[in-house]
Amino acid sequence: MLHASMTVDPAFRVAPVHRRTFGSFVEHMGRCVYTGIYEPDHPAADADGFRTDVAELVRELGVTTVRYPGGNFVSGYRWEDGTGPKDRRPVRRELAWHSTETNRFGLDEFAAWTRKLGIEPMMAVNLGTRGLQEAIDLLEYTNHPGGTELSDRRVSNGSPQPHGIRMWCLGNEMDGPWQIGHKTAREYGRLAAETARAMRMSDPHLELVACGSSGPEMPTFGAWEAEVLEQTYDHVDYISLHSYYEEHDGDLASFLASGAEMDAFIESVVATADAVRAKLGAKKRIQLSFDEWNVWYRMRFEAREPSTEWPVAPRVIEDRYHVADAVVFGSLLISLLRHSDRVTAASLAQLVNVIAPIMTEPGGPAWRQTTFHPFALTAANAAGTVLRVEPESPVRETARYGAVPVVDAVATHDAEAGEAAVFVVNRATDEPVTLDADLRGLRAEGVSSCLTLHDDDVYAANTLERPDRVVPRENTDVRLEGGRLRAVLPPVSWTVLKLALPRS
């Protein structure tokens, strides 16, 4: 059996746990909106057409923010189309995902849905086919109290109170040649800076996100961030990161090490942002918004036959997630928490049906994918302060990422509540790990719970027929004596330990 050890001490502080780390993403793509969160004819629909069974799962998931309406979709979106009487809204072709958009769900429905669920909305503006004027018009519609043409239009459309959206994305993936209105870094940086300045004339307290690279594999990665930030540094608060992970050619070991790639991506963007800060002599530090991340089998999607039809809400990238996917997913959450000093917002892409933790059937049930569980348990248990944990662990060579530790972990400490949580992953494909943890600095009094997500079949998944095939289970092979914890972690597993501490 493999052995690993670590120390969890409240002195090893990283940053506060940011609730925005547990954000998600709703795009007009596939069935995320229609038959996902919105299905007026569903037996569980409320008076506004929102599926209450999905809403209950979103609450259980612990989502705090939702980015909307895209994604690639936003780069061709006319926000006005989704406002006003539904029978007068235009039906349009949607170029990004080659579908037909009915606009039955739009801005005001989204704002109403987030209010019902107590979620902070995060809005993206179209800097692909549109620009500065449309962005400030949208801001006036959403946030101005009244007395102007656009704010009064919102009132007449049934939303007397402003939507109060504070966080705004200045476009989406503008570095990508697939993006409608794709731009060079210089072109985008100038437009983003102009748009940000104009939006701040309306409200200087907005939080604005400039587009970073669409992934670390982009040929312009690094140079894009540097150019964009040189033009926008004084006008934005965040630079975005997007990255997706998948298993390639049966290489499970490399797939399980995906968190190492996320770590490197984050640290490269931080280095670039700080280099621009030094060059400009700026005082503030740019924060990171990792506003698209997930496991996504993109190669399958890209290998599909292109559609010649324009369907409404087709079944698009509805990946079915298995145990290994969930373990990788949990390890990505560990990486996000570990970098909470700079990653202060994140959005799991997406929320329902489209590469999502929640699945639905039209007119039928909703259920949890395997990835639902690490997100929900991390959102529920991570509180207070993130603690740096550096396990002493065996390493394994991987084809994609080189030597990577078998065990990765992070912890959080909530002194006021008298609780701590440790999140740990065993990346070994065929061996359990005995983990020894020194908790004396925490003065841990006991293990409140220890839940492990694992299955002997690493490709087992939850389905409509068996929605609870894979769930976290109590790990009974754990004990705490004299401030030292010992636990056995099965291969390909993700675990959360909840610890009881003296209250401060």
Mind telling me the catalytic residues?
A: 173, 292
The string of DSSP letters for 9-35 reads: -TTSEEEEPPGGGGEEE--SSTTSTBT
Inter-residue contact 461 to 382 (CB < 8 Å): no
Q: What are phi and psi of 471, to 5 degrees?
A: -140, 155
Cβ neighbours for 69, distance < 8 A, ≥ 6 positions apart:
26, 27, 28, 77, 79, 82, 107, 110, 124
Angle at 80 between CA 77 and CA 82, to 5 degrees: 80
Work out the number of other CB atoms within 10 angstroms of the CB of residue 385.
Answer: 19
At 329 the three-state DSSP class reads helix
Work out the number of other CB atoms within 10 angstroms of the CB of residue 54.
Answer: 26
Please name which of 247, 448, 411 lies closest in space to residue 334, comparing C-alpha atoms: 411
What tokens appear for 170 in the block? Answer: 């200045």
Q: What are phi and psi of 483, to 5 degrees?
A: 80, 5
Q: Report d(CA 390, CA 330) in Å as an integer.
A: 17
- Helix, strand, coil percentages, rounded to 5, for the chain: 30, 25, 45
What tokens appear for 12 in the block? Answer: 């090893």
How would you label 314-339 residue by residue, b for 16+ Cβ within 10 Å and e otherwise? bebbebebbbbbbbbbbbbbbbbbbb
Q: Report d(CA 495, CA 300) in Å as an integer.
A: 29
Cβ neighbours for 39, distance < 8 A, ≥ 6 positions apart:
45, 49, 51, 360, 362, 363
Q: Report d(CA 297, CA 206) in Å as an integer.
A: 35
